[in-house]
Amino acid sequence: MFIERVLPVVLAAQQTMGQITDAYLAAMVADMLGGAAAPVGVQLDEALRGVAPEEVYHRPFVTMYSALASGHDYAASLGEARTRLLSITETDLQLARTHAARQAMQRGGVRYFRRRLTGTKNCALCVIASTQRYRVKDLMPIHPGCHCKPDPLPGDRDPGQIIDEDLLKEAHDAVAKGSARRTGAAVPRITAR
């Protein structure tokens, strides 16, 4: 019953994420090329992970059953299942965004992109990733909970792997000093550029 009720909501949220991403990137590409924004929609497969969503959304139950079988009490087991469900839904929204972004940028003729940091604090992994150029065909989420946005890079010419050497050095220095971990912790004194 849970899957029957939750799955339509999750799939609708993924489609909405795809539409918003398409509109955003169509405007970015149009601005880059000097034209008018023309989002035409994206087609998102329900199985963004390559696995049927019914199977994916059954996984929190498996987590709970396993925790109960290991001797955890009901409340702790339910908490583990809830955590797994939240991770799955957040990751699925990220996958919807990246699949839509890939389609929108390819349709606009974009070959390369960079990750744009959002917010005032970002993990070290995202900061380092934002200094690099990526190919649109390889666009994937970077980690669960990542809020970086893909920004198309103008032109067909490869700008080279590293596109912000100063920020890359600053991020590596912060990690080396121990003021940031490679994932999960905000990087102090390094802000989005």
Give 47-59 as a DSSP string: -TTSS-HHHHTTH
Total tally of structural domains belonging to the chain: 2
d(CA 143, CA 176): 21
What pLDDT is stored for residue 131 in this prediction? 92
Q: According to the per-residue pLDDT averaged within each range, which of 69-83, 100-114, 135-149, 174-188 is highest?
A: 69-83
Over range 31-53, report the average pLDDT: 81
Residues 57 and 81 in one domain: yes
Beta strands in 36-148, from DSSP E residues, in sequence order: 112-116, 134-135
Instruction: Find the radius of gyration of the CA atoms of the chain.
Output: 19
- Residue 2's domain spans which residues? 1-110
Query: Which strand (E) or helix (H) includes residue 130?
Result: none
Residues 104 and 190 in one domain: no
Over range 11-16, report the average pLDDT: 92
Among 70, 85, 110, which residue terminates a domain?
A: 110
Give the whole-number percent of the chain exceeding pLDDT 90: 32
Residue 120: count of CB within 10 angstroms of its CB: 8
Chain segment 104-149, per-residue pLDDT in tens: 888 888 889 988 888 777 888 888 889 999 988 887 777 777 778 8
Residues 122 and 95 in one domain: no
Residues 21 and 52 in one domain: yes
The pTM of this model reads: 0.76
**15, 44 Cβ separation under 8 angstroms:** yes
Residues 91 and 124 in one domain: no
